[in-house]
Amino acid sequence: MHRTTLPAATFGRRSALDAILKRDVGNAAMLLNAFDLETSSGTRNLELRAGAFAGLGIEADLLAVSSEGLTDDSAPDISAPDAFLTRLQRAYGLRLQSTQRAVDLSGSLVNSWVSAELRLRPVPAGPGGRPVNSHFQRVAVVAGGLGDEQERDQPWTAFNRLFSLLAILPMQGIHCRTVAAPLFGLHPSGPDAAADYPHLLEICKQAFRHLPELHRLILFDRDDQVLRPLGATIDRTIQRKDPHHTLVELPQDLAALESLRHLCRFVLEDDSLKRLRVAADLTELIQLLQSDQVSPISLGLHSRRLLERLVTHCLHQCGDHQQRGLNNGIQQLRSLGLDPWLLSCMHQVRTFGNWMGHPQDTGRSRRVEQHDVLAMLCSLRRILADYPWITPPVSPERESSAYEP
């Protein structure tokens, strides 16, 4: 049996995994779950999203697809109108049979290939008039197996191949911080399904251990029912007091909330911050703040990730390019003389995000209430209102050094 796996290693105390469950709600994707372990170099995410890929607002360096839907000439089987590859061709004009390959390992144990950088022109809207707002720079075609009957019984072989491929790409000068992949049509079913999803989580943990350049892995499926068992697995893993579908009511008559919505839009439209790739987090924050009820997990993750990007950008603007986690980044800002009250607001957003995603010790777990959410949102408002927190003198060196998120 031919099977490619990542080498085993012991998970460090500062290793990381975020797992996020997003559900399609109208024209928006709402984040419902998070599983988070902190790292010394920043938060790294495994996200789960339900819905059609083209409308999920994903910004990926690499989109992985399965070779199962391809014919011998690498063209999608048009006889299957709902096939993922067919939908990609319609939405993006992606034609794999004419796509240039940058790395081709077909026929090897990895049995996959990666395209050269793509220049796609997606259609403005997909079926039903829904906007096409997901984008990707390259595509990887991943085989599920080499025809071995025993290997076909292994549900996550395609993911082992994908992660092995990602380990090779940096040596070819291809760097992928954000990778999106479907479940490759491998949906666990039957009485053993509950055991399959923890196995997938463990494979992803191994991937984050061995792929330091990978910061976000986004898994998606059109069927919300397929992802729900994995969301429930996450809840059990971190001993969550409230299930991931818990919502908290927001008082809509607070002027501070409207001010926060305005500040989020202002940052979203700031051209100088577009390279930070915070648009997805800001867009979903705005959508959440316009709702009567919100997911505290969603608020916590998006707010913390936005703060982490802003802190890193601020330090880079001051000439500090060291990789560090959010807590250490805030401490570094303290050494630069940042206002203590503003620093306390940053810690409020950071700790709320940690609370929503970290495994809960049995003796410390507690339920999130409305005043907890409002306290975090007030802190976030102060953070955005005071940005930029430090205005360093412009120098040619700083002007030329772009921040790569």
Task: Respond yes or no on whether the N-terminal peptide bond of residue 388 is cis (omega within 30° of 0).
Answer: yes
* Residue 14 vs residue 372, higher pLDDT: 372
What are 149's two structure tokens? Answer: 């009957």
Looking at residue 373, its pLDDT comes to 95
Contacts of 27 (CB under 8 A, 6+ apart): 55, 130, 131
* Residue 58 vs residue 363, higher pLDDT: 58
- Could you give the percent of the chain with pLDDT greater than 70? 72
Residue 149 scores a pLDDT above 60: no
What are 103's two structure tokens? Answer: 């790395």
The beta strand positions in 166-300, using DSSP E, are: 178-182, 216-221, 248-249, 293-294
Between CA 218 and CA 71 the distance in angstroms is: 26
* DSSP label of 180: E
Looking at residue 403, its pLDDT comes to 43
For 97-143, what is each residue's pLDDT tens digit?
899 999 999 988 899 999 999 998 888 876 666 778 888 999 999 98
Looking at residue 249, its pLDDT comes to 92
Looking at residue 192, its pLDDT comes to 52
For 286-326, what is each residue's pLDDT tens digit?
888 988 888 888 899 889 989 999 999 999 999 998 878 89
Length of the chain: 405
In 3D, which of 157, 158, 114 has the Cα closest to residue 136? 114
Between CA 338 and CA 131 the distance in angstroms is: 41
| Residue 7: pLDDT band with limits 50, 70, 90 | very low
Give me the residue label for tokens 């893993």.
237
Q: Identify how many contiguous H helices and E strands the chain contains and give both numbers.
A: 12, 11
Looking at residue 392, its pLDDT comes to 64
| Residue 70: pLDDT band with limits 50, 70, 90 | low
Average pLDDT, the chain: 78
Looking at residue 11, its pLDDT comes to 37
Looking at residue 133, its pLDDT comes to 80
Residue 72 scores a pLDDT above 60: no
**Torsion angle in degrees (nearest 10) through CA of 268, 274, 280, 284:** -10
Residue 371 scores a pLDDT above 70: yes
What are 212's two structure tokens? Answer: 């330091």
| Residue 5: pLDDT band with limits 50, 70, 90 | very low
Between CA 405 and CA 402 the distance in angstroms is: 9
In 3D, which of 163, 133, 140 has the Cα closest to residue 94? 140
For 337-351, what is each residue's pLDDT tens digit?
999 999 999 999 999
* DSSP label of 139: E
Looking at residue 112, its pLDDT comes to 93
What are 278's two structure tokens? Answer: 């915070």
Contacts of 65 (CB under 8 A, 6+ apart): 84, 85, 88, 139, 140, 141, 142, 181, 182
For 236-270, what is each residue's pLDDT tens digit?
776 766 666 678 999 877 888 899 999 999 999 99
| Residue 84: pLDDT band with limits 50, 70, 90 | confident
* CA angle (229, 235, 237) in 5-degree steps: 100
